[in-house]
Structures are given as C-alpha cells and as structure tokens.
Structure 1
C-alpha cells in the first residue's frame, strides 16, 4: 500500500489530545432500527490513493447489490482527528461506520464509548469471532473485553533482503535468529576508504523508515502491561535484551554518529530512491505493500522476503511478525446501528469480499478463511506476509487507555538509548514506566 504507514509523533500526539479532550459522554445512537428498511449510511475511511478508493467503491457496490435497501455514502481521506471531532460534535452529518489506520488508539475508542460495542451484534448474527479472526487481530481491535472494532485487512512486518548481495557475501539463506541477523548485517556492510558506507547490511536506527522500535521489539513477544494496565517494561526481561541487541548492532556497524549521518543520505521511503531499492541497504524491515512497489519501480538486483528473525532462545517461534492494520467500527452516535452492522459484517467477515479487497489494496487478509483462500494473490513475496499473519507466534502491539502515548514514550526512550544517552538502563526504564503510568492516569482522570 502506498500510503505512509508509520505515524508521526505530531499526528499521534494530536490524536491522543483530541481523544483525551473528548471524554464527555458520546452522543446516544440506536440499535433499534430495522436493517431491512430503506436507509442511507455514511462511511468515513482513510484511503486516498486512486486505486485504493476504487477498491473501496467496488466493495460498497458489492454490498449494495446484496442489500438494495441500504445506500452507502463514502468519504475518503479522513483522519482520526476529523472522525473524533465529528463524533464529539454530533449532529445529522456524522458517520455511521468509521475506520482507522491507527490501532494504537483502539483502547481509547473502546473506553471512551465513541465506538459501539460490537459483541452484541456478533452474537446476534451468530459470528464466532475467535473462529473468524486471528488472535492478534482481535487483540488490537478490542480493549479489556470490549470489541469496539473489527479488523479490515492487516499489515504484517517482515524482512526484505538483497539476494545478489547475500550470494556475494556467501550467505545462503535469510537469518532466522538475532545472532544470525547481526552476523549477516556485518558481512553485508561495506565501508568506503573515507569511512562512509558503500553498502549497509541493515540500518538499525529507529528513525529509519519503518524501524519504529515497537515493531522490532515485537520479535521478543514482550508483555507490555500488567493485568491492571500498569506498565512493566522495566520488569520485562526482554526489554533490556532488545535494547541491548540494538545498541550492540549499532556499535558493530560503525556507531551511532556515522550511521545517522549516512541515514541522511537516503532517499524518501515511498520514492524510487528508497535506500533498499537503490542498493544502499541490503536488508529492510518493511510491510507487505513494499513488494508491489519494488515490482512497479524495478530493481537492479534480485530480492526476496522472509519473516524477521527471532531471539536465539525463541528459535522455535521463527515465522513470527508484528501485526497491525485497519480497523472498522460503528459510531455510538449512529441511529442506524443494525444497518451499519450489516456493512461492517460484510466488509470484515465475508470471505470473497475480504480476499477481493486484499488483492486490490495489496494488504494481508484479516480472516482465517481469507488467509487460506486459493483466490488470494499467489505472489511468493506477498505470501511470505500471509504466512506471518497466520503464524501462531505473531503478535500485535497491545491497546491502551492512553492510545499511542505509551508507544511515543518508548520511541523517545529508544532514541536516547541508541544514541548512548541512557547511562543507567534499569533506572531509565523505571522512569519510562512512570511516564507511561502517568499518561494513563491522566487519561482516566
């Protein structure tokens, strides 16, 4: 998918602020409507590329043929901020069905009551959500027992690698463990006589493209919070191992300063000058959408895809990846919630629809049946990510009442850690936990 997947700090902070300021009681809607009666629904979504909007429109056309009494008016390129403002303001022009690319905020959508609880609709329709959706996708679309959203296609993060560079370095297969990964990154790195880089095996910096720390941290399958929602990163053993691994890799590849200077020479992530496409880096953490972009722009080398490596003591979990994606729900203020549910159910649970949409958008399907469908795009590079999405060891970043604030806190800390500005890691992690817990209390208050 050609839209930028990683959210900026400004966007996340703005969204969190809107949600925090919008904790007033949401407008009351109705689930007493007759979904067989003529009705017009408003569906707001974030897709904006021409091909993406065409895929959404095609899905709506299929739905309307099946439900001729329901007309759907779509509005695309809508941000979370716009949705939240509209739902707080209320009125007749608010959406009935809403979608979001920001799974980090699902905890706030559910706990604020802005998005309706879908469990009553699932039960009424006889939909067994655990049988339909992979567990990580259910995890990121619910919060503390409230299923206020459902997955609408997914993203899986894996490894892109330069096969020609691997062959030249004598590496016979993609790395499966973190020690193999570090060794491959060293072998694939070539320095110039002046000390710069001719080729970098892997760019470990957390500010590089899709390298947000939570995505690589997911390979350790950490427990982020205690049962009561308290941050436990300082007490989670894998936190120090993850940060230590990254710091060691930074050191092995030349140090933070030289790597950061080299990063500034890379082209834009979504351009034809992407550092992997131009051969400046030999391995890349990225999502399933990158494969289509590489094929459309072309490369001067052979490339392949594989799952990201896992810690050496979790070698049996190889195949795991970090999962996220788009979620869709019903606005609590909608007075046509039963009709809205018919649209949500069609978009998220109808196998033919999910497969068709996945093939068109080039995202991973979000149901077990669609993942196994023979009609799904058979491209081997794409199928790697289908396998990651279906792997029982794959994980998602957990929802929280403070939305993406805890992820922002981790990013800030990780930036300092990789730069060597955290002299006492244990003390720093305890301070990080306090920051996250303070943000959570502020949200609850």
Structure 2
C-alpha cells in the first residue's frame, strides 16, 4: 500500500495544528547551536505502516547511520498528524525531532504556526540550491510565504490507469487525450445491468477515491488565488469549466443517484476488492501505485497508464497532471536541529537514498537527479507518472495559512454541484471565494 496515497483529511488537523502557534519554540537554521558531530539520538516520526514501507524506511535509516555513526535514529511509525501535533505541543525528550507527513495540504499551517523550523538557513549552510535540486511544483507545496518549513520526500503524480482488455473490446485503440475523447470512451466502456452496471467506464463522482475536484481542476491549469492573495475561483473560468464538464459526465453515465448507488458497493481503496482490480471500472483516476497494486491484487487483464485528459482547447498541454507528496521537516522545538538537518538532508537530497526509497515503495522520486537516475526501476506503467512529474505544466494546490480548509470549502461546493443542488454556478463560486477569504484572514 502506498503511504502517500493515504492522505489524512485536512479537516481533522486544523485544530491540532493551530495550537502550535504559541507552543513551538526552539532553534532555527543559522541559530541552531548543537554539534552535529556529537553523539546524539534523534526521534523520527513518520506515518507509513505497511510492512514493506516500514522496512524501506528502516533500510534508509540504516544507510544514514552507517554514514553518520555518531547519530542514532529512533524511528516511530504509523504516526498520524494528530499524534505528531500533540507531541510537538507537549515537547520534551520524547517529542519528535524530525517529522514526515503525508498531509501536504497542511504545509501552510505548519509554516505559518512555526511548528516546523525554516529550512532555508540549513540549505544555505550546506550550499544547496533548492531550485536546482527539486522540481518547481514540489517546492511550491513545501513552503509558505518564503518559509521553507518542509522539503519533499518522494511525490505522487496523478494520471489514468485503464483496462486494456476492456478498451480492445470496446474498439478503443488508445487512451483519451482530451476531455471529449474521455467522455466518449467512458460511454463506450459502460455496460448497464438493470438499474446498475456490469462495467462502468469511469466513476466520475467526487467521492470516487482519488477523483477529487482538485485533481480534475489541475487539468485546466487553474489559479486558485490572485497576485494579492484573494480567492480566485469565480474569476478564473477554469473552475466553472471543470465543474460543468464533470457534472455533464455524471449525467451521461447514468446520473448522480445511480452512480452513487453503484459506488456504495465498492471495496476499500487499498484492498484487493478495489473495483478496478475486479474489472467493474474500466478507467481509474489514480496515482503511480495503482497499476502495481492491481497486478498484486490479482487483476486478470492487461493494464495501461496514461496522463489524464486535458480540456479540448488545451490539447497541446496533454501530459500534465496534479502533483502532491510526502513532506519532511524539523520540529521547531527540537534542541538537536543541526543533527536533525543531517537526517533530513540525507533523506530528501541524497540521490541514492531517494532512488532506493522510491524503488522500495513505488512512488515518484522528488529530486531532479533522482528522476533521471539509471538506478531507478521504471516499468512502462510507471514511466507515465515520471513523465507527468516532469511536465512543465503539472501543478498542485498552493499552500495557504489555513492549511487545507480552502480546498475543503471548494470540495464541499463541488459535491453540491454534482448533486444538482447549485442553480447558479457563478454566484456559488463567488460565495466560495468569500468564505475562503474569510477563513484565510482568520488563520493569519
């Protein structure tokens, strides 16, 4: 199971993170006074829990400790952001010095509250030019207002995973590149059975696992905020166009109620009962892990991968997609920040370490050198997602002071749109903008 794909909902984190504003004190960057060559034990907390993931972390830590014999790392796995935030607030010797989080949506909150130390001074001391190490989009979601409070630790690219056998049976010779081709393929691949489905071309509703409004909106290259930081959903036509296209596809495939009734029969996203594995859904919007998981889950058909389709008027940008990933930072209250930086630097910038970790858990590498490494194991299915990660117009949701609250506001509105509860889309988006601006102002 891919760790990055199991993102903690941002809504559960906001209260816990906000208390850190007054709780986090400590060293930062150039002010860190501990001797990184002294014998020390670091507490490293992360969220991975599957045996293969935990083993991959342990192997990386073993390589680090061999290169840094004075630094021992005590690793605690399966840590949620709630547990991490409580420990950071409490402080003390048992609190984490280094943290890895799946929740990129909360980076703005982590940085704004000063829960994590700004890593810019550490980067400068180490002579590392972050713009030459990490892809631009990854730097966007790991910092806020110039505070680089986290660094990328692998990343996810989202694309299309599809059933090649079903494509062949439907007479479809290649994956769709534009939205109109996508909608046509979804119709051809759908076979009804009474008031349900024998096979659904794609589950288009926003509750369908990884099919979130943010990941679909990425194909329209949206601008969530204006230059002065105001919410931009009503003024940027990308959002209305995406919502309109998605709602039309929902209607074409049977309507919201029928689709949701079918979706209620689906198995867990991370189990062998996933509907794509079982051939119930022919196309799946998903991350780089899905093809491997489907094979391991006993899928009996040939699997293909491709970028998500783009709007018809942006056909020249085909290949782009939504990017997110795991982040890694240093607790602001840690008294071992220079030693902690050695661990963060190794795991996030050392090419061999990044490649080894990516190979172990089947995620996309997070440095420019690792993306091109000859040691990276690349299957044809995986290459698609590497190409999406490299695409200059791939994008992400920007960090904000309220963490992921603005995304939840947009997502709730998208749920209402697809159900048919919004009669005036422009007016609805304007109200969403007002709510987002209010929430961000409160967070600041």
Tell me the CA shift for residue 50 of structure 1.
Answer: 0.9
- Secondary structure of the residue aligned to 2:342 is helix
Tell me the CA shift for residue 227 of structure 1.
Answer: 2.6
User: 1:267 is matched with which residue?
Assistant: 267
User: 1:125 is matched with which residue?
Assistant: 126
Tell me the CA shift for residue 255 of structure 1.
Answer: 1.1
User: 1:28 is matched with which residue?
Assistant: 26
Tell me the CA shift for residue 2 of structure 1.
Answer: 3.9
Extract unaligned runs of 5+ from structure 1. none
User: 2:175 is matched with which residue?
Assistant: 174
String of CA shifts for 1:421-443, please: whole Å, max 9, x gaps. Answer: 00111111111111111211221
- Secondary structure of the residue aligned to 2:64 is helix
> Any residues of structure 2 matched to 1:293-442 within 5 Å, and which?
293-442=293-442
1:5 and 1:156 map into 2 onto residues whose CA distance is: 10
Matched, 1:47 2:48: yes
String of CA shifts for 1:158-205, please: whole Å, max 9, x gaps. Answer: 10111111111111100111111111111111122x242121111101
User: 1:63 is matched with which residue?
Assistant: 64
Tell me the CA shift for residue 282 of structure 1.
Answer: 0.7
Matched, 1:210 2:221: no
Q: Flag as ranges the 4+ runs of structure 1 deviating above 4 A.
A: none
Matched, 1:78 2:75: no
- Secondary structure of the residue aligned to 2:283 is strand
Query: Are the counterparts in 1 of residues 6 and 102 from structure 2 also a CA contact under 8 Å?
Result: no
- Secondary structure of the residue aligned to 2:13 is helix
User: 1:110 is matched with which residue?
Assistant: 111
TM-score (norm 2): 0.97
Query: Are the counterparts in 1 of residues 43 and 73 from structure 2 also a CA contact under 8 Å?
Result: yes
Query: Are the counterparts in 2 of residues 52 and 360 from structure 1 also a CA contact under 8 Å?
Result: yes
String of CA shifts for 1:385-417, please: whole Å, max 9, x gaps. Answer: 111111111111111110111111111111100
**Pair 1:296–1:170, CA change in 2 (3 A):** same
Query: Are the counterparts in 2 of residues 402 and 440 from structure 1 also a CA contact under 8 Å?
Result: yes
Matched, 1:37 2:38: yes
> Any residues of structure 2 matched to 1:222-261 within 5 Å, and which?
222-261=222-261
2:293 and 2:161 map into 1 onto residues whose CA distance is: 12
1:291 and 1:374 map into 2 onto residues whose CA distance is: 22
User: 2:163 is matched with which residue?
Assistant: 162
Tell me the CA shift for residue 4 of structure 1.
Answer: 7.6
String of CA shifts for 1:366-398, please: whole Å, max 9, x gaps. Answer: 001111111111211112111111111111111
**Pair 1:4–1:132, CA change in 2 (3 A):** closer
Query: Are the counterparts in 2 of residues 4 and 270 from structure 1 also a CA contact under 8 Å?
Result: no
2:423 and 2:147 map into 1 onto residues whose CA distance is: 41
Higher alpha-carbon deviation: 82-91 or 178-187: 82-91
- Secondary structure of the residue aligned to 1:286 is strand
2:112 and 2:227 map into 1 onto residues whose CA distance is: 16
Extract unaligned runs of 5+ from structure 2. none
User: 2:154 is matched with which residue?
Assistant: 153
User: 1:443 is matched with which residue?
Assistant: 443
2:366 and 2:319 map into 1 onto residues whose CA distance is: 17
1:320 and 1:259 map into 2 onto residues whose CA distance is: 27
User: 1:100 is matched with which residue?
Assistant: 101
1:37 and 1:296 map into 2 onto residues whose CA distance is: 45
2:13 to 12, 15, 23: 15
1:3 and 1:339 map into 2 onto residues whose CA distance is: 26
Query: Are the counterparts in 1 of residues 220 and 310 from structure 2 also a CA contact under 8 Å?
Result: yes
TM-score (norm 1): 0.96
Q: How many residues align?
A: 441
Query: Are the counterparts in 1 of residues 406 and 436 from structure 2 also a CA contact under 8 Å?
Result: yes
- Secondary structure of the residue aligned to 2:161 is strand
